[in-house]
Structure 1
Amino acid sequence: MDINDFNYKANILEELGNNNQSYKTASNRNPNITRTYKKYIREDIINKYRDDPTKVKEELKKLKSMDPDHIRELQLGGLDEFGNLKMIDEFTNRRID
């Protein structure tokens, strides 16, 4: 587990609770949003490091063990859109949601 990703998730959830924004709603997830987001991140890595193939390979390897995560969870009223997504460690994402 990536401790930074864990702390990120815990802080977001704590902030929502402290601001009385932690309420359960039905989540309306479109799997194409997160798939497309991860493809976008992959393309961004390739473009960003196109002059450094070693760095591209390293970053793409890291990306394989990451998931798009909703910053504000869908069940807590978050939107299923790029602006509400961030890449985090897949272990942390799948165990804390």
Structure 2
Amino acid sequence: MVKYLLSNFSLDMVDSKHYKPDVEVISEEEFNNLKEGAIPVMGNPAFARLFNVPCIKSYIKLQKGDVALVVGTDGGKLDYHATSLPDNLSLKYKKVEIVEAEV
């Protein structure tokens, strides 16, 4: 199992037709606890700055058992050059676990 810290998620990241994402909305506290040890793959420099991780634009393939911790915004789009979260935006958090697809 590999755990990733992401600023977006796409179904194209899932490795096989035999797997599916199990998506759960989580709290900021849960997110902060789970992100320990996660590999950051944040292609958006503003999110990378907010979380003090390197901006890494990389293609990943999620396998069965992998977990993606996905952070996004609520209330609009985060400016690419932002160094802090504007007052009109808040963060939202999701945990995506890759599980076996039901046949």
Larger Rg: 1
Report the structure, 1 or 2, having the larger helix content: 1
Structure having the larger proportion of residues in strand: 2
Task: Please give the TM-score of this superposition, normalised by the length of structure 2.
Answer: 0.24
